[in-house]
């Protein structure tokens, strides 16, 4: 099942070009030969942007410092795993998101696919609806698209035009009825990251929510049932880290203190209510509080450089896209640390970035 086929893009973001030179050496295919526009030019021209920075580790580097473990062979299949690629086809500038059986320790092929466009982060709500942002394809505005659950790769329920910029991530407890919290890579007006609160019922978004400490790209977004929200962002395009908290997801917000991250990445809450922060440099941090004072619960090294991931329904496993190794890594999760289980890559082309992965159904705390 395929949706959302896009036209050829007229330009490729500088983040994509920076890493393609290294990642595609010795592989077939070609990278468009284009001048890399500035951050302001990318914002104004709607050029698709990847959150993968040029300094990220090259494909094939593995930095596993965790004890190897074997998947539980007695585990019964339950739900699905999603995995996405920023661009799956460089000549047509399309991205994709695949659905897989859960667990997928046998590296089974995808059961279905949705075509997207320049896919960074995305979310699954508690009804198993998929919230999939897309960049401009040169003929349309960026958008936030909702696909029906609970079966993977469901029909398109609706789209919200993103007139503010390009989305980095999206979360909602019920995308058809409740607020959709959207992280923005950068706004056209400021060229830095911010947060939007959107609604599928009105097909619109409220005014941008931001903080002066965000001086680079916006990354992961998290929200709780009270309507508070958090953003993990860069302080210099794709470098540095700042975590910002907004009560009620409005106002100027406050910079969270006590964080240890070296880089930005995805955010989510675990089953115990801890805020989990993926560090693009290859680590995962678990914090309590962060409203705005954080207390470090644990830190773990990752198998490769990752940006986005999420927990299963029970909250005891996490799946993450692995940019460094062009696959998905699945770990046993506890607030005190991780244990590596397995990886899979079947159906992922490996030509561009596997930025995100996650479970459907996901943990109730998102």
Determine the Cα–Cα distance for residues 298 and 308; give it in Å rounded to an integer.
18
Per-residue confidence (pLDDT) for residue 72, from 0 to 100:
52
pLDDT tens per residue across span 42-79: 544 467 899 998 777 555 545 544 444 455 555 666 79
Cα angle 160, 166, 169 (rounded to 5 degrees) comes to 80
pLDDT tens per residue across span 255-272: 999 999 999 999 999 999
Per-residue confidence (pLDDT) for residue 16, from 0 to 100:
33
Per-residue confidence (pLDDT) for residue 31, from 0 to 100:
26
Residue 224's pLDDT band (cuts 50, 70, 90): very high
Per-residue confidence (pLDDT) for residue 47, from 0 to 100:
79
Residue 326's pLDDT band (cuts 50, 70, 90): very high
Residue 323's pLDDT band (cuts 50, 70, 90): very high
Instruction: Please report the domains of the chain, with CATH numbers, ordered by start residue.
Output: 20-360 (2.120.10.30)
Q: Does the pLDDT at position 121 exceed 50? A: yes
Instruction: Kindly write down the DSSP assignment for every residue of 238-307, as one continuous string.
Output: TBS-EEEEEGGG-SS-EE-BS---SS---EEE-TTSPEEEEETTTEEEEEEE-SSBEEEEEEEE-SS-EE
pLDDT tens per residue across span 13-29: 333 333 333 332 222 22
Tell me which of 36-40, 203-207, 280-284 is least confident.
36-40
pLDDT tens per residue across span 175-197: 999 999 999 999 999 999 999 99
Per-residue confidence (pLDDT) for residue 161, from 0 to 100:
96
pLDDT tens per residue across span 130-175: 999 999 877 788 999 999 999 999 999 999 999 999 999 999 999 9
pLDDT tens per residue across span 74-90: 566 679 999 999 986 65
Per-residue confidence (pLDDT) for residue 76, from 0 to 100:
66
In the predicted model, what is the mean pLDDT of the chain? 85
Pairing of strands 294-301, 306-311: unpaired
Per-residue confidence (pLDDT) for residue 87, from 0 to 100:
81
Q: State the pTM of this model.
A: 0.86
Per-residue confidence (pLDDT) for residue 350, from 0 to 100:
75
| Mean pLDDT of the 341-350 span | 93
Per-residue confidence (pLDDT) for residue 215, from 0 to 100:
98
Tell me which of 89-93, 95-99, 282-286 is least confident.
89-93
Q: In what helix (H) or strand (E) does residue 187 lie, and over which residues does it extend?
A: strand 180-187
Per-residue confidence (pLDDT) for residue 62, from 0 to 100:
52
Per-residue confidence (pLDDT) for residue 75, from 0 to 100:
63
Instruction: Kindly write down the DSSP assignment for every residue of 290-358, as one continuous string.
Output: -SSBEEEEEEEE-SS-EEEEEEBSSSSEEEEEETTTTEEEEEEEETTEEEEEEEE-TT--SSS---EEE
CA 212 to chain centre: 23
């Amino acid at each position: 099942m395929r949706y959302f086929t896009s036209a050829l893009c007229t330009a490729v973001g500088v983040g994509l070009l920076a890493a393609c030179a290294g990642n595609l050496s010795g592989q077939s295919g070609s990278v468009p030969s284009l001048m890399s526009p500035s951050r302001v030019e990318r914002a104004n021209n709607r050029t698709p942007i990847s959150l993968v920075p040029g300094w990220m580790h090259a494909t094939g580097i593995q930095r596993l410092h965790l004890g190897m473990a074997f998947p539980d062979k007695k585990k019964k299949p339950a739900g699905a795993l999603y995995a996405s690629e920023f661009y799956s086809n460089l000549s047509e500038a399309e991205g994709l998101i695949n659905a897989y059986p859960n667990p997928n320790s046998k590296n089974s092929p995808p059961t279905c696919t949705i075509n997207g466009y320049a896919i960074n982060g995305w979310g699954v709500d508690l009804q198993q609806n998929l919230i999939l942002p897309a960049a401009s394809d040169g003929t349309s505005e960026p958008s936030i698209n909702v696909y029906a659950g609970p079966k993977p790769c469901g029909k398109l329920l609706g789209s919200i035009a993103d007139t503010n910029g390009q989305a980095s991530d999206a979360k909602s407890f019920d995308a058809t009825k409740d607020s959709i919290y959207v992280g923005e890579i950068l706004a056209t007006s400021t060229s830095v990251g911010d947060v939007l609160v959107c609604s599928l019922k009105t097909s619109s978004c409220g005014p941008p929510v931001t903080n002066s400490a965000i001086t680079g790209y916006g990354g992961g977004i998290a929200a709780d049932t009270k309507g508070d929200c958090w953003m993990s962002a860069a302080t210099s395009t794709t470098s540095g880290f700042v975590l910002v908290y907004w009560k009620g997801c409005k106002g100027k917000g406050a910079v969270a203190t006590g964080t240890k991250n070296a880089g930005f990445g995805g955010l989510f809450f675990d089953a115990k209510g801890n805020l989990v922060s993926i560090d693009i440099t290859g680590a995962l941090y678990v914090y309590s509080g962060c409203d705005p004072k954080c207390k470090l619960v644990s830190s773990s090294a990752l198998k490769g450089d990752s940006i986005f991931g999420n927990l299963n329904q029970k909250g005891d496993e996490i799946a993450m896209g692995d940019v460094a190794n062009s696959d998905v890594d699945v770990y046993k999760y506890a607030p005190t640390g991780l244990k590596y289980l397995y990886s899979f890559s079947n159906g992922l082309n490996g030509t561009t970035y596997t930025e995100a992965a996650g479970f459907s159904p996901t943990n109730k705390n998102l």
